[in-house]
Amino acid sequence: MNKKEGFKSGFVSIIGRPNVGKSTLLNRIVGQKVAIMSDVPQTTRNKIQGVVTSDDSQIVFIDTPGIHKPQTRLNDFMLKSAYSTFNEVDLVLFMVNAAEKRGAGDNFILEKLKNLRTPKFLIINKIDQVKPEELLKIIMDYTSDNEFNEVVPISAIQGNNVDEMMATIKKYMPEGPQFYPDDQVTDHPEYFVVSEFIREKILQLTKEEVPHSVAVVVESMQRNEDDKVHVHATIIVDRASQKGIIIGKGGKMLKEIGVRARRDIEAMLGDKIYLELWVKVQKDWRDKQSYLQDYGYRQKDYD
């Protein structure tokens, strides 16, 4: 790891209720897609790290799963994953949605943050959807009974105030080494990012029909004789009816998932891709520890 004079580096956790725009923000500040986006809540399952490097700093962002009340082993894993970042980082960004009233989920997180010694920012997202006078009320609502080091209103989707937020974050970073090379934007292996891109397309195309009972496992990635990277991935669902939805009439849905995912994968790898998708039913996989481990959700990483 390189250590430059006056160079700042650190880790920042982005937390908040499901669907407040955490992945959108991460993708914007990194400058390309590293976290999957969907209008279905609970999209992010693992701690996705995005790396932002400039001449004088490197900031590593962790997009945690949206915090909520767990109902299955998978949900429980996601919650532990989110909490585990609190004490590992130099700064916590608590993101809320300006267009929605403060709710039980926000209060649940605020309670968890109360005794946290790590510096914390209140990030109010989606300010493009509210009037300035409403924004003032939202700020007062969250800060009257909670302490934050900074309050930053932004629009992750439009980019409003995001540069100012980054400059403020940098002030809170300690001096330290450069952890990753200049051109690296995520620390996840390509297998993981590829599986997330495929899962994003499933969520976007099937909406409520196939909720979060879907996992994607990339079995192999190898260059073939046509000089394309052959990606073989299996889509796991927990009911036969969901398998039918994902395949679609005459295989139409599966083909569309593949076409859309391939575009993102090719853009990320800078290579031509041959994507082969299979669908498999594994009943109740979200509640079985052995399946969770097989599909990349390892509890031991967060205990």
In the chain, domain spans: 8-172, 190-301
The two beta strands, 120-125 and 8-16, are unpaired
- Give the model's pLDDT for residue 3: 57
67 is in an annotated binding site: yes
Question: Does 66 belong to an annotated binding site?
Answer: yes
C-beta neighbour count of 36 within 10 angstroms:
24
User: Residues 49, 19, 295, 236: what is their CA dihedral angle, to the nearest 10 degrees?
Assistant: -140
Residue segments in the chain with a per-residue pLDDT below the cut of 50: 2, 36-46, 66-68, 70, 290-303
pLDDT at 16: 85
DSSP of the chain: -B--TT-EEEEEEEEESTTSSHHHHHHHHHTS--S---SSS----S-EEEEEE-SSEEEEEEEPPPP----SHHHHHHHHHHHHTTTTSSEEEEEEETTS---HHHHHHHHHHTT--S-EEEEEE-GGGS-HHHHHHHHHHHHSSS--SEEEE-BTTTTBTHHHHHHHHHHTPPB--B-S-TT--B-S-HHHHHHHHHHHHHHHHHGGGS-S-EEEEEEEEEE-TTS-EEEEEEEEESSHHHHHHHH-GGGHHHHHHHHHHHHHHHHHHTS-EEEEEEEEE-TTGGG-HHHHHHTT--GGGT-
pLDDT of residue 113: 84
Question: Tokens at residue 145, please?
Answer: 């009974």
Is 6 annotated as ligand-binding?
no
Residue 22: what pLDDT?
A: 83
At 216 the pLDDT is: 83
Q: Tell me, what's the pLDDT at 298?
A: 43
Q: Is 75 annotated as a binding residue?
A: no
Q: 258 a known binding residue?
A: no
- Pairwise CA distance, residues 12 & 91, whole Å: 5
pLDDT, position 68: 46
Q: Do the annotations mark residue 20 as ligand-binding?
A: yes
154 known ligand binder: no
- Tell me: is residue 62 an annotated ligand-binding position: no
Q: pLDDT tens-digit profile of 159-173?
A: 899 999 999 999 999
Domain 8-172 has CATH 3.40.50.300: yes
125 is in an annotated binding site: yes
Is 65 annotated to bind ligand? Answer: yes
| pLDDT score of 295 | 45
Multiple choice CATH, 190-301, 3.30.1490.190, 3.40.50.170, 3.30.300.20, 3.40.1260.10: 3.30.300.20
pTM of the model: 0.58
Annotated ligand binding at 63? The verdict is: yes
Nearest to 244 by CA among 279, 288, 201, 195: 279
